Structure 1
């Protein structure tokens, strides 16, 4: 396994490759983003990681940009140049934003469907009989 030198990294892009995203072209999106980074010779500044499901299947294909904490939805391979350009110019690719962090709180765009709440029924394991 390779160990990357990430000391110059300014941007980290997490690209969902969960089953829902994969069915609509996540692999092609991953390759397009990586190709755009390489063609612009930005490999030292932008690091990508292919993930599994990020829990936003209705927004497929999902890409998350850190350190800003911006979530992008419905990305296609043809969006790769605009996404990478937005990172280089420190602008947001606003047409595809699903969620963003404004330094105070997480904001949802008006087109986002509210997902399943994280709170699940709590089970007291100590009282559970096996």
Structure 2
């Protein structure tokens, strides 16, 4: 198993490859994200990791960008490519389900997504 040196990385994208996301195209989305990173010459600045379930199955495919703290709903390969460009431009595109604002995760009500279960109840 490779151990990457992540020094100098500006973004780390966690791409859900759990079963629900895989049924909704996660493999193609993952490949498109990695291809876009390579095409833009951003391999030294954006790292990707395939994950298992991120707990947002009904909003599949989920891509999480850190340290930005943005959670994206990537329903196509093209949206995956837009997410890469957003990591560079920091514009929080329309596909962001959650954004971190002043240290708190905030739901983006402009994106159709599942509200989810309240973890505090």
Give the TM-score, by structure 2 length.
Answer: 0.90
Query: Across the two proteins, how many residue pairs are aligned to each other?
Result: 119
- State the Cα RMSD in Å: 1.5
**How many Å separate the matches in 2 of 1:80 and 1:74?**
6
Deviations 1:12-70 (A, max 9, x none): 00000110000010011001100111111111100001000011011111100110110
Q: Return 5+ residue gaps in structure 2 as ranges.
A: none
4+ runs of 1 displaced by more than 4 Å? none
Greater Rg over alpha carbons, structure: 1
**How many Å separate the matches in 1 of 2:73 and 2:46?**
19
**How many Å separate the matches in 2 of 1:34 and 1:5?**
18
Indicate how the Cα distance of structure 1 residues 119 and 92 shifts in structure 2: closer, same or farther if over 3 A, else same.
closer
**How many Å separate the matches in 2 of 1:119 and 1:83?**
30
Give the TM-score, by structure 1 length.
Answer: 0.84
Q: Which has the higher strand share?
A: 2
